[in-house]
Each structure stands twice: as C-alpha cells, then as structure tokens.
C-alpha cells in the first residue's frame, strides 16, 4: 500500500537530486503544489511526484530548458506522461536485467 505523503527528502532520494532542486522547480513550475504544515515542511502526493518525474525527464533526460519543459507540460501533457511512463518501465527492465546478469556472473564463477 502506497503512502499518501512523502517528505522532500524522500522525493529527492527517489530521484537522486538535491532537495534544493525540488524547491527551485516548485518556484519554476506552478503545477507543483506540495502541502505544507505550520512549519513549512513540504509533503508531496503521488501526483506531485509523477509531475516532478515528468519535469526531471524533460529537463535532465531530454535536455529541454525550463521554458521548453513548461511549454511541453502545458501543450502536450498526455504525450509527456506516456513517454515518461515508458522511460520508467525501460529503466526498471534495465535494472532487472542487470540484476540477472550479476546473478549469472556470480553463479558462473568456478567453485574453489
């Protein structure tokens, strides 16, 4: 069962980025609206994380400028979501294949 909210640290670790980048993107992309408690601590929903992953894909993997990413999210959101979903699946498959390869290499080593 997935949790409802994630801290900025958890989201940053998930994407392997700094929390400061998430705060910066929050200013640049008004669609990112994490909940904040009385102390100002951010809490991200699954929808927030999905949007951040889309932004990450556009900016870091597609090398779009922030303006370009904003434009794509505004005008082609469905295609961006589908593309990002495919990329996530391919990354997962790659991790699984690398794990299988690692296991095969380990089992192929001669017994001493």
The CATH number of the domain holding residue 82 is 1.10.1660.10
Asked, for residue 1, whether it belongs to a domain, the answer is: no
pTM beyond cutoff 0.85? no
Asked, for residue 32, whether it belongs to a domain, the answer is: yes
pLDDT in tens, the chain (112 residues): 678 999 999 999 999 999 999 999 999 999 999 999 999 999 999 989 989 998 998 999 899 999 999 998 888 766 666 777 787 888 889 999 999 999 988 888 776 5
* Paired tokens of 3: 């949790």
Residue 36, φ and ψ in degrees, nearest 5: -130, 140
Q: Where are the alpha helices (DSSP H) in the chain?
A: 8-15, 19-28, 46-56, 66-75, 77-108
Asked, for residue 69, whether it belongs to a domain, the answer is: yes
Expressed as residue numbers, the domain containing 77 is 6-108
- Answer whether 54's CB lies under 8 Å from 88's CB: no
Distance CA 48, CA 43 (A): 9
Alpha carbon distance, N-terminus to C-terminus of the chain: 44
For strand 35-36 and strand 42-44, is the pairing parallel, antiparallel, or unpaired?
A: antiparallel
Distance CA 70, CA 76 (A): 10
The tally of domains found in the chain comes to 1
């Amino acid at each position: 069962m997935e949790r409802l909210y994630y801290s900025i640290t958890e989201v940053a670790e998930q994407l392997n980025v700094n929390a400061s980048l998430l705060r910066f993107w929050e200013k640049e992309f008004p669609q990112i609206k994490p909940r904040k408690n009385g102390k100002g601590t951010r809490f991200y929903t699954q929808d927030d994380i999905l949007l951040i992953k889309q932004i990450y894909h556009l900016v870091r993997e597609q090398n779009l400028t922030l303006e370009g990413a904003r434009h794509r999210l505004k005008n082609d959101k469905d295609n961006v979501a589908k593309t990002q979903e495919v990329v996530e699946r391919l990354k997962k498959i790659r991790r699984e294949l690398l794990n299988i390869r690692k296991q095969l290499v380990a089992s192929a080593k001669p017994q001493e």
